[in-house]
């Protein structure tokens, strides 16, 4: 009887091991995104490798300055799986950030990626805020060649603190890092978050919240 129980336990453990075992590495050379495939999955289905071409792994445009003639004075040019199908399943992407003098990349978060940024040109203030309850601001002014890391999920920002343009390049640890701009999400949601809720959250008059919502 004891031998039978031991054998049963061994079989159960073996089954669990087989059930949860996985290969942490890629099982193929690449999985170029097939955007025409209607299969819903976490990422994109793979294109037939025989049809893959060099253009699936390349993108032209990061040498072109973004248009910073807008209310915030900044522009982000992305090179994610949307622009480069070959990034599918590889867990990496990058962006170019252009900021006019005193322009900002407003407080935002990337829900699926850590970001590492380097300044190519100009002087750039960067910062992120830690989670509750401390909500500590960690910030620094970067110069050309400096590098800064924004941990995954934390609210962060960039601001040009010079009189010339700023160019920065950032890499992100996801093929599709996502971006949540805080002001847009809170005041520009569809439908609106109740002004009563936001007025209490920000401790301001309801009319102020409504004015901000109208702007978005």
125 labelled ligand-binding = no
Spatial CA neighbour of 31 closest among 79, 89, 81, 84: 89
- 3-class DSSP state of 49: helix
- 3-class DSSP state of 172: strand
- Angle (CA) 179-195-183 rounded to 5° is 20
Q: Are 52 and 30 in contact (CB under 8 A)?
A: yes
Residues 31 and 87: their CA atoms lie apart, in Å, by 8
156 labelled ligand-binding = yes
In order, the DSSP letters of 99-130 are: E-TT-EEEEEE-TT--EEEEEEES-EEEEEEP
Length of the chain: 216
132 labelled ligand-binding = no
Q: Are 141 and 78 in contact (CB under 8 A)?
A: no
HSE, CB side, 13 Å, CA atoms: give it for residue 109.
15
17 labelled ligand-binding = no
- Which residue has tokens 């059930």? 19
110 labelled ligand-binding = yes
Which residues carry a binding-site annotation for Mn(2+)? 108, 110, 115, 156
Which residues carry a binding-site annotation? 105, 108, 110, 115, 156
Which residues carry a binding-site annotation for oxalate? 105, 110, 115
């Amino acid at each position: 009887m004891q031998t039978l129980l031991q054998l049963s336990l061994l079989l159960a453990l073996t089954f669990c091991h087989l059930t949860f075992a996985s290969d942490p590495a890629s099982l193929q050379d690449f999985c170029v995104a097939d955007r025409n495939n209607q299969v819903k999955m976490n990422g994109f289905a793979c294109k037939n490798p025989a049809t893959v071409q060099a253009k699936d792994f390349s993108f032209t445009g990061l040498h072109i300055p973004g248009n910073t003639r807008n209310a915030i004075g900044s522009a982000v040019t992305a090179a994610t799986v949307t622009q480069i199908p070959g990034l599918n399943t590889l867990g990496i992407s990058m962006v170019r950030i252009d900021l006019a003098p005193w322009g900002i990349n407003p407080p935002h978060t990337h829900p699926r990626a850590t970001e590492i940024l380097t300044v190519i040109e100009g002087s750039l203030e960067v910062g992120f805020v830690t989670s509750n309850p401390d909500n500590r601001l960690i910030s620094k002014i970067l110069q050309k060649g400096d590098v800064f890391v924004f941990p995954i999920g934390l609210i962060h920002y960039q601001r040009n603190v010079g009189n010339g343009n700023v160019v920065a390049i950032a890499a992100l640890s996801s093929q599709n890092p996502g971006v949540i701009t805080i002001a847009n999400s809170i005041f520009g949601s569809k439908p609106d978050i109740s002004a009563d809720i936001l007025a209490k959250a920000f401790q301001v008059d309801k009319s102020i919240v409504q004015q901000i919502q109208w702007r978005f």
